[in-house]
Structure 1
């Protein structure tokens, strides 16, 4: 009975009402900013990627992590196994057209995450030890007032549950099973090793997490992107047809072919949008907690990294998965395979048996980085609810769930996590809408007084 209620609640929270809420949020702020995330994307990429070499500039501002460390840490949490398995599932069920809707929701998600990140930095707090804490619970309470504190507490509790479920229960289980299936490594060995690595990094605090993620996140993304491009290039003659099918079947039903059962436009739209939302986490309020620790001179400047984060997660890494699978032809993507098995089939069609090893290594890196990156969301939420007196104890508690995954199935845990993360979206987007005036003032100040080459963007 309880299980059926939880499943029904998860289906509702990740159904059309939530997707419409996220869609409307992105559309409203896109209109308010003149579609800044698209119009000024070259500027955003220049300010984010280019700022890696501007350390003299960022050191003049307050924060714990460099802006790049913050976005690398946030990406380590968003670029996960969903980019490998989740997008493959969307294609297997929704067909090529689902990729269009994944791109579409990412375009809107870029501005949503920019708003979240900007508000998180604007309302962040600094403790006596110099640590910065921010995120939805802080801008709910400080931006909306004390009467909203209960909602902020509720959000933080849901985030703690989501972090424990997503990062340190599901991820190590997925990782250990993949290592066992591909490399024949016992699950207990994988769990011991990754938990030890996670502990060494997490116990060191935010700064050590940032230093770790700025190294592993680019490396794992580059490995996966290069391997995916190899599959696409080998099948480059199929690319024009693939691009055409993505746009054509976004707006018309896809007929059954091979092991593919066919798809309606509604199913295609739902699968593409839901996978895009779940992958880049725009609207969930998780990544802003990481960005709140960044060294920055203006909230909107760090907000640019929110745009960049969604761009990399969905439009780069997600597109690599999509195009690699689709370019292999219907004999692969319409074979009836699903999830990570479909991605492995695509890679194996080019790399042979080595394809499964590539995916196995990527699953390991993506899952490990998620475990470490989500520690900031976990700790920020713990500090908000319980204070920082016992934070060292809570860091050790974070390392317990991986050992509980041994010999367990994760279906029900995934459902509980879906409920926790789905519930987070509602209070977060309520606050985002109610604080739209604050964001608009910050945005106008930034575009008028802080952007260079202003004549090109106004």
Structure 2
């Protein structure tokens, strides 16, 4: 039953809504994701990393969201997309990513606009907050549904799945028993999450650039070794996307469905997860974080997913004519081994370990944000500590479980989560676009770093304590 509902949601509803809204946001904003692409670097410059002990900087929010986006979806998810949808699935992942950059800009801008200031001076925010504040109290039921879905998807299912991916990868590469990996992962995660979001961000700030940069470097080496074959591989991806090559993996329909499904799983644009992190950052204007988070989607899908796709397609391990050929993370490992020898398999295991570890930290924070919203217990140590213990247990149990049902459950809840958020984004596009124009007007006037104050938008239900008065 879960599989039937999930297939209906992903094969019809979400494809239309995701691509449709992505195109709408892109055209209506005059391609905001490309116009301000270069501006991201000035926003992340040292001069603009404003934060203190209670708030994250824009850079920390970026790496924390990249920590969540960059994970199993880039290594195992791309392999699954190619296996089931053929090389053409990668093209549709690109489309979802490029359109998703605009979607991410608006959802993260809204998260900043409608963030709330906590008693200790820190911030919380995300779709649950902008649904309640932006659409009004009559829509609180929808914000509660979103929070429940966010908790079930990230706080429970995805944490379990990441633990499973890490443990199976380590067993394949090093022969480490699953339960040893689960226990070790649980201990390390526990030491970090009891330190709160600041400690999570501090770990991500060091870990993410190293792991993403290392993976990108290996991909560049593989591409350099196969430079003459790159044009043919890119041509294969594009032709397969439109059924111009012999059907591989299920034809054009499977390519589109797997590209959209795995693309969203990987970059999370429109899913409503990244805004929870974006809202925590201290920035002078909401659009700043929208621009930064838009770039996060680019890093995930256009850079890292493409790297994995080329590693697989340029290798000899991928053979669509063999029904029982290797799949998932094992396919990525085997493909890299064909390029660089056996140590390539080891590298993928280490990369997946780091990606999975950082993603679990990110998933924990999203679950914590959901618990805080649903129970109004942001400063309740008992409730938060109980959830931390649950997360540690999931790391242990997830490593040894048969997760077929969990995968089906996660696909369904993730689809419903995206649908709720996308509906809210469509309804709140007008105020989000208004704030974008507010940013652009200041830029046109020569203001290098535009600022925002709630008093300029008195008709919106903004938390004035979260935005300093001029």
Give me the TM-score of the superposition, normalised by structure 1: 0.91
Q: What runs of 5+ residues in structure 1 fail to find an aligned partner?
A: none
Check the 8 A contact 2:49/2:59 in 1, yes or no.
Answer: no
- The one of 339, 343, 347 equivalent to 1:354 is 343
Paired residues for 1:320-331 under 5 Å: 320-328=307-315
- Residues 126-174 of structure 1 deviation map (CA, whole Å, 9 limit, x = unaligned): 1111221101110010111111111111110111111233442111122
Paired residues for 1:22-33 under 5 Å: 22-33=18-29
Check the 8 A contact 2:127/2:421 in 1, yes or no.
Answer: yes
User: CA separation in 1, counterparts of 2:158 and 2:52?
Assistant: 31
Q: Which residue of 1 aligns with 2:290?
A: 303
Q: Which residue of 1 aligns with 2:141?
A: 150
- The one of 305, 312, 317 equivalent to 1:318 is 305
Paired residues for 1:283-302 under 5 Å: 283-302=270-289
User: CA separation in 1, counterparts of 2:91 and 2:85?
Assistant: 11
Q: Which residue of 1 aligns with 2:12?
A: 16
Question: Does 2:255 align with 1:268?
Answer: yes
- The one of 61, 70, 78 equivalent to 1:70 is 61
Q: Which residue of 2 aligns with 1:363?
A: 352
Q: Which residue of 1 aligns with 2:2?
A: 6
Question: Does 2:424 align with 1:424?
Answer: no
Check the 8 A contact 1:116/1:283 in 2, yes or no.
Answer: yes
Change (3 A) 1:262 1:429: closer
Check the 8 A contact 1:38/1:107 in 2, yes or no.
Answer: no
Paired residues for 1:44-123 under 5 Å: 44=40, 46-48=41-43, 51-54=44-47, 57-59=48-50, 64-123=55-114
User: CA separation in 2, counterparts of 1:227 and 1:19?
Assistant: 32
Paired residues for 1:250-269 under 5 Å: 250-255=241-246, 261=248, 263-269=250-256
User: CA separation in 2, counterparts of 1:341 and 1:30?
Assistant: 36
Question: Does 2:185 align with 1:198?
Answer: no
User: CA separation in 2, counterparts of 1:407 and 1:175?
Assistant: 11
- Residues 360-392 of structure 1 deviation map (CA, whole Å, 9 limit, x = unaligned): 101111110111112221111101001222323
User: CA separation in 2, counterparts of 1:406 and 1:195?
Assistant: 10
Check the 8 A contact 2:171/2:177 in 1, yes or no.
Answer: yes
User: CA separation in 2, counterparts of 1:137 and 1:348?
Assistant: 44
User: CA separation in 2, counterparts of 1:60 and 1:329?
Assistant: 48
Change (3 A) 1:130 1:90: same
- The one of 375, 381, 392 equivalent to 2:370 is 381
Question: Does 2:423 align with 1:436?
Answer: no
Change (3 A) 1:134 1:183: same
User: CA separation in 2, counterparts of 1:137 and 1:451?
Assistant: 33
Alpha-carbon distance, 1:41 to partner = 2.4
Change (3 A) 1:211 1:247: same
Change (3 A) 1:201 1:247: same
User: CA separation in 2, counterparts of 1:179 and 1:83?
Assistant: 17
Question: Does 2:38 align with 1:42?
Answer: yes
Check the 8 A contact 1:326/1:333 in 2, yes or no.
Answer: no
Check the 8 A contact 1:135/1:289 in 2, yes or no.
Answer: yes
Other structure's SS at 1:148 match: helix
Change (3 A) 1:62 1:366: closer
Q: What runs of 5+ residues in structure 2 fail to find an aligned partner?
A: 449-470
User: CA separation in 1, counterparts of 2:159 and 2:250?
Assistant: 35
Change (3 A) 1:408 1:393: closer
- Residues 288-321 of structure 1 deviation map (CA, whole Å, 9 limit, x = unaligned): 0011100101111110112111000000110111
Check the 8 A contact 1:231/1:346 in 2, yes or no.
Answer: no
Other structure's SS at 1:214 match: helix
Moved more, 414-423 or 279-288: 414-423
Give me the TM-score of the superposition, normalised by structure 2: 0.89
Q: What do you get for the CA RMSD once the two structures are aligned?
A: 2.1
User: CA separation in 1, counterparts of 2:254 and 2:447?
Assistant: 43
Change (3 A) 1:151 1:98: same
User: CA separation in 2, counterparts of 1:157 and 1:98?
Assistant: 31
